[in-house]
Structure 1
């Protein structure tokens, strides 16, 4: 690959990490906040459960589909430039969500938000990868990067409940404005990233979007054979395109590596379990338990609050014992807690539900940082954007499909499926490398 411009060495890694931290915070903040507001949005716009699923999945599907190209785009234009453009568009789309006059406009603005987030996430992770060449220091930096998302996830439910109950659900999106501006201001102090001459893959991108949208629609709309058929055809076309183009956005050769394959599968399972759970529990709290948005947000707070602590624990455990332990143990902890939730009903006290959710936040918080660090250490620095795009595309696809499936099959069936997947993925984690590699 040909480097078009050298990175400026005008600042150390701390401003870079601060920028990436704010970016991941921005991406995650209204994701959790919005979940507790979904019933209120449904009441205002008269939306069905399927419509509420699309408010979530419009974001997740576009996020997942564009992540693949976004990784290559980040490498091509430079991670810092890609990140800045994504942050600006995300902030604009958030304001558009807050001003949406109807359900269609809200879903459209969510699509734009998801596309912008897709650009931000791999570029923010690539910034960290480039700023911390040492494997151990990089693992710690990635853990701090994930803390940004964890803090947003922790604050999201309570912020969403408070804002919805006082100012209305639209305030959830408007709160992104000051965060987005702060992110861009910090970015202005970071060094420019190198640019790599990496071609884009428009045909692969189109087939990926068609496959994911058709699959999600087919599941949400009650297992539609036509939509599912389109998804299969588009998926086959995507594989054929990626196997033939000169510069695929998702090189199939990556999956000859056991580390890459296991990382993306585990990432898919982790996000599927988390997003599916939060979506169906939010509706369960409102529809079955009659909780307000604020009360529902409070129930989630203990679970989300421990995620940041678990991120830091993950880095320390991985540095001492290797990454496999926090990845495998974290998923088992989560699976056990989800199994316990199978017995929750209308008579279960809210504090009990809140306590049962805590191990889920801790377990997933342990798994994700080490999983991300394993993959980033396995990939060369000049392909960091592409690798981050592949991993997080699979993660967001897992979240999007889980929202569709959990919403269709209900709380208990969804939880049962998540438990089985988490146990299997936990066992697979022991096939990952014993130690971090230098990349």
Structure 2
């Protein structure tokens, strides 16, 4: 039923059972700690908002930028971070992101004004956008065996889920005896440990597109003037000792358009629930996003088309071509396109309803910040069981079965929120929290494995960035849409009911898409070979055979 099953099965040698491949933990711990900090700061700051308001005399607009500006910058720069990792080396970009995030956390803890705190929170978003795609790509590079890599993705998702779940609880506990600045100082020991473990245990792969021997650069990222003109076979490029690789140039136009379009889209969605979907600010931001992203697609298509060799064009080997930031051919693979859509649907349903659940417990039930975090904790705590299980199931069956199973569980769990009311007992809501909390962590590692398996060898960072951008967009859409439904549905409970139905439908659609994609799963796609266009050589007409000799 699912074609990817054999791709993840561990190879066997001999008649006996194959030995289970080892999975060294120090590199995985180093790479997971970076994502732990990113997910922790998504939720821990929400608990500190009252203290920030009192200490810095921050207004409503300033508080919104402190909370949402981090996520907006993170989403806007993910594609840039993934592309830089593919070109400069994922270890280097990961360490740069870790350093920026840790230094920004120090700035947040020392911020004397609202403006300074906003600026350092935006810098945290920059660091997060650089370290997350490279972290995921380094997990794939460090654990090349497919079954081990699937289990590693499960552990990686578990650690990030623990960071997301522990944010409200840790924030509440630290605020009970310390100042709000303590939530940012928490990142210092975690960041320092991640840097030390990365330098000690994570290998540094060769950067993409750097000049040097052919073996140091993947074939699909080389532009070799000799191979573009010399014939293949004996004496051609296949037998050359070390052809010189030329570095492709950056794509500044595409990078700028991607950042502008994603930033405008994130700003529009963040403002939609408060200002209204029809406000001039929101409509203007949506317009800027549409124009910028449309131009981005056109630029990337043109740059990728220029890399495909065609007859009748002059060679330009003296000037290397520009490499597209996001090659459109990446989405011709069903594994990448479908998993990106599933990422949107996943975060739309889960984080959108999680946002309403927080409002429900605080407004309808009168819970405080710490009590709300503890009420939601059973859903978040299921990651400790579900994510490792997903990694094992993915190693055995491939990514699409666990993905479909997790999404179906989530769809059923969301329907349990239809029982929520003003006086509903918490025990009635515990089951939907647990079921949904079990389904989502089962989906994320499998989806991560699916998109990384479908990625080209030199595009792991970009594939990771695409998946994370899709999830961030889904997150923003879910919060904006469900927040609007709660505000305009007559009551918060009515908004929760309608949002639960929409979230369940989104997860059911994602499960169907995962099932269909698993049936036609295929091999990864490489980027088009980057060779300059060359003028076709005139063909030498074949000489006619000599006339037969007279006997």
Q: Which residue is equivalent to 2:267?
A: 217
Give runs of aligned pairs for residues 66-105 of structure 1, distance below 5 A.
66-105=77-116
Mapped to 1, the partners of 2:147 and 2:71 lie a distance apart of 31
Give the TM-score, by structure 2 length: 0.72
Contact 2:51 2:180 in 1 (8 A): yes
Residue correspondence of structure 1 range 308-347 to structure 2 within 5 A: 308-347=384-423
Q: 1:277 to 1:100 in 2, by over 3 A?
A: farther
Paired with 1:370 and 1:264, the residues of 2 have a C-alpha distance of 13
Superimposed CA distance per residue, residues 74-125 of structure 1 (whole angstroms, 9 cap, x where no aligned partner)? 1222111111110111111122233334544433322211111111111111
**Aligned partners of 1:125 and 1:385: how far apart in 2?**
7
State the partner residue of 1:403.
Answer: 479
Residues 1:243 and 2:301 are matched in the alignment: yes
Distance 1:47 1:416 in 2: 35
The farther-off stretch of 308-317 and 239-248 is 239-248
Q: Report the equivalent of 2:338.
A: 262
Q: Which residue of 1 aligns with 2:207?
A: 195
Partner of 2:8: none
Report the RMSD for the aligned CA atoms in angstroms: 2.5
- Asked if structure 1 preserves the Cα contact closer than 8 Å seen for 2:387 and 2:441, the reply is yes
- 1:266-310 CA distances to partner (integer Å, 9 max, x unpaired)? 012212223223333333333333322211111121111111210
Structure showing greater Rg: 2
1:232 and 1:380, CA in 2 relative to 1: closer, same or farther beyond 3 A? closer
**Cα distance, 1:47 vs structure 2:** 4.3
Q: 1:6: which partner in 2?
A: none
Measured after TM superposition, the shift of residue 378 of structure 1 is 1.7
Distance 1:284 1:298, change over 3 A: same
Q: How many residues align?
A: 427
TM-aligned CA distance change 1:380 to 1:228, over 3 Å: closer
Alignment partner, residue 3 of structure 1: none
Between the aligned partners of 2:50 and 2:357, the Cα distance in structure 1 is 12
Question: Residue deviations 1:298-355, cap 9 Å, x none?
Answer: 1121111111210111122223333222111211211222222133133123344344
Q: Is the CA contact 2:72–2:267 (under 8 Å) kept in the aligned structure 1?
A: no
Tell me, in whole angstroms, the C-alpha distance in 1 between the residues paired with 2:429 and 2:514.
28
| Cα drift, residue 438 of structure 1 | 7.7
Q: Is the 8 A contact 1:207 1:237 kept in 2?
A: yes
When structure 1 is superposed on structure 2, of 31-40 and 122-131 the one drifting more is: 31-40
CA distance in 2, matches of 1:56, 1:208: 23
> Is the Cα contact below 8 Å between 1:78 and 1:193 reproduced in 2?
yes
Instruction: Provide the C-alpha distance between the structure 1 equivalents of 2:119 and 2:378, rounded to a whole number of angstroms.
Output: 32
Residues 339-418 of structure 1: matches in 2 within 5 Å?
A: 339-410=415-486, 411-412=495-496, 413-418=498-503
Structure 2 counterpart of 1:429, from 514, 527, 530: 514
Tell me the secondary structure at the aligned position of residue 188 of structure 1: helix
> Mean Cα displacement is larger for which, 217-226 or 127-136?
217-226
Match for residue 234 of structure 1 among 277, 292, 297: 292
Query: Retained in 1: the 8 A contact 2:30–2:193?
Result: no
- The answer to whether 1:117 aligns with 2:175 is no
Distance 1:51 1:435 in 2: 48
Aligned to 2:219: none
In structure 1, the partner of 2:145 is 134
Cα 1:363–1:252 change in 2 (3 A) is: same
Structure 2 SS opposite 1:169: coil
Segments of 5+ residues of structure 2 without an aligned counterpart are 1-22, 210-247, 304-321, 487-494, 525-551
Does residue 184 (structure 1) correspond to residue 195 (structure 2)? The answer is yes
Provide, for residues 361-413 of structure 1, a one-character-per-residue CA deviation record: whole Å limited to 9, x for no partner. Answer: 21000001011111111223322112111111211222233233333332524
1:181 shift after superposition: 0.8
In structure 2, C-alpha distance between the alignment counterparts of 1:73 and 1:378, rounded to whole Å: 20
**In the aligned structure 2, how far is the partner of 1:300 from the partner of 1:47?**
28
- The secondary structure found in structure 1 opposite 2:458 is helix
Preserved CA contact (<8 Å) 1:268 1:394: yes
**Which residue of structure 2 aligns with residue 253 of structure 1?**
329
Q: Report which stretch shifted further, 314-323 or 59-68.
A: 314-323
The verdict on how the C-alpha distance between 1:14 and 1:194 changes in structure 2, with shifts beyond 3 A counting, is: farther
| Residues 5-60 of structure 1 deviation map (CA, whole Å, 9 limit, x = unaligned) | xxxxxxx9543222112112122122232334446555665544x76554443222
Superposed displacement of residue 256, structure 1: 1.1
